[in-house]
């Protein structure tokens, strides 16, 4: 994860952190916080992630 423009400013700038993830209906769900000021959720289909990781 990389902070986008609006997530770069805050108490701790340029920081995105998560403390876990889960898979729901084949989608990896990653809750995260940024700059100690807000939270959000990133998602990616597990199949897409695996295809990308296994690509040579």
pLDDT at 53 over 70: yes
pTM comes to 0.75
| Calpha distance 33→30 (Å, rounded) | 10
| Calpha distance 6→24 (Å, rounded) | 27
Residue showing tokens 């989608």: 27
Domain ranges for the chain, please list them. Answer: 5-54
pLDDT confidence of residue 13: 76
pLDDT tens figures, 19-47:
899 999 999 999 998 877 788 899 999 99
pLDDT confidence of residue 48: 96
| Calpha distance 14→36 (Å, rounded) | 10
pLDDT at 11 over 90: no
pLDDT confidence of residue 56: 66
pLDDT confidence of residue 27: 98
């Amino acid at each position: 994860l990389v902070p986008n423009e609006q997530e770069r400013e805050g108490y701790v700038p340029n920081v995105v952190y998560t403390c876990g993830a889960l898979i729901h209906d084949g989608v990896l769900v990653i809750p995260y916080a940024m700059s100690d000021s807000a939270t959000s959720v990133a998602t990616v289909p597990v199949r897409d992630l695996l295809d990308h990781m296994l690509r040579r």
